[in-house]
Amino acid sequence: MDHPSIFKVLFLLDLVFLPLCVSSYPKTLRESLDRSSLPDNFLFGVASSSYQFEGSYLSDGKGLSNWDIHTHTPGKIIDGSNGDIAVDQYDLYPEDIDLMDSLGVSSYRFSISWARILPRGRFGDVNKAGISYYNKLIDSLLLRGIQPFVTLVHYDIPQELEERYGEYPPCRCSVPFGNCTHGDSEKEPFIAAHNMILAHATAVDIYRSKYQKEQGGNIGIVLDCIWFEQISNSTADMLAADRAEDFFQNWFLDPIIFGNYPEEMSKILGSNLPRFSRNDKEKLKNGLDFIGINHYTSEYVQDCIFSVCEPGTGASWTEGLARRSQEKDGVPIGKPTDVDWLHIYPQGMEKMVTYIKKRYNNTPMIITENGYGQLNNPNLTIVCHDTERVEYISAYWD
């Protein structure tokens, strides 16, 4: 049976500049992206993350996060900037919501700063001011008819947990580095990903058993999704493109939806790939309600099993023996942007969602991120005359 169509398009646009910039293109954005042309249940949204937006990094009982420490460490950030103030959404969220409402935005994705709610992680009290802030934010959104999408974890954790578990985590071979004669760092990404999948399964299990029936909400996972085009028409390169998807988003989605890692991953990695216990598989049966897709770009892929490959991203056995490249015969896969890894390839979006729809039995999808990379420019006139961004959005929209 088909699931209802659920799509949310999130363009990464600066809320402060949007009203000024959109008015500069009455014949492009306003006509092609007219809200009235969309179905009533279409969610057109904007997105943020806590560290990049909230600011107020020590206000109202908030503790330090891993990002607070990282950005304050000399040499970590090239220009020395940090998120102490950011765009001050902690104080200015009513104005931000006014802007969203004026633009016809119907959904807002934001993340939780857990150091604001649990200043010392598991080792202290709950900060009621943090709970109050997110309650006020959510209530204000709902009053304007804007649907909140809450990201539970966006790389933002209390520093207390980083210090206790992050630097020398459990499963280490011994007390800091003593008595170790052999190690294999190639396995570590698979162990980390395995635990992330189990963490997702645990969170879904808790939500389904304790809250979902009463709240009527949905829970899913958001993944970076790159579309991989075979670099030639050969069967080997076709299989390599499939393999590249297995070693990318399928690495996470297959266990969550089907209960096991992709077959090609298991064949190539063998015992290096962790196994799910019987209890793990029971939790994984909870699956998800939707797949969140962050899609920005596409890449070419060349087979490295039956062909000789130059060293490069994807060429190793731990990456699936499918070498990834942004160009073919010196020609980029799409028009370059100011971000070196992001090329404009609109058909990649359609191919990506079609692929996921077929592979995962029409599980509902939400486009949680998509956007155009530009250099920072303080000149508002130039920023608003960004025809390339308009062309990018129009191309992906069409």
pLDDT in tens, 98-128: 999 998 899 999 999 999 999 999 899 999 9
Tell me 40's DSSP state: T
CA dihedral 357, 237, 193, 67 (to 10 degrees): -90
Rounded to an integer, the average pLDDT of 378-382 is 85
Structure confidence at residue 380 as a pLDDT band (50, 70, 90): confident
Structure confidence at residue 188 as a pLDDT band (50, 70, 90): confident
Hey, what are 67's tokens?
């990002």
**What is the pLDDT, as a whole number, of residue 24?**
45
Residue 157 · residue 69 · CB < 8 Å: no
Catalytic residue among 163, 369, 388, 391: 369
Q: Please give the residue that has the higher pLDDT: either 171 or 247.
A: 247
Catalytic (active site) residue 369 = yes
Residue 62 · residue 115 · CB < 8 Å: yes
81 backbone dihedrals φ, ψ, rounded to 5°: -75, 165
Q: What's the CA gap between 289 and 19, in Å, rounded? A: 34
**What is the pLDDT, as a whole number, of residue 42?**
87
Mode of pairing for the β-strands spanning 290-294 and 365-370: parallel
Q: List, in order, residues 6 or more apart from 274 with CB less than 8 Å away.
A: 190, 191, 194
**What is the pLDDT, as a whole number, of residue 5?**
38
Hey, what are 35's tokens?
């809200």
Query: Which of the given ranges, 14-23, 276-285, 383-392, has the highest pLDDT on average?
Result: 276-285
**What is the pLDDT, as a whole number, of residue 182?**
63
Q: Mean pLDDT in the chain?
A: 88
* Count of beta carbons in the 10 Å neighbourhood of residue 29: 18
Q: By C-alpha distance, which of 302, 307, 344 is closest to 324?
A: 302
Rounded to an integer, the average pLDDT of 253-258 is 98
3-state secondary structure of 213: helix
* Count of beta carbons in the 10 Å neighbourhood of residue 326: 18
**What is the pLDDT, as a whole number, of residue 23?**
42
Q: What's the CA gap between 112 and 155, in Å, rounded? A: 10
% of the chain with per-residue pLDDT over 70: 87
Q: What angle do CA 304, 306, 309 make, to 5 degrees?
A: 35
Hey, what are 215's tokens?
């709240």
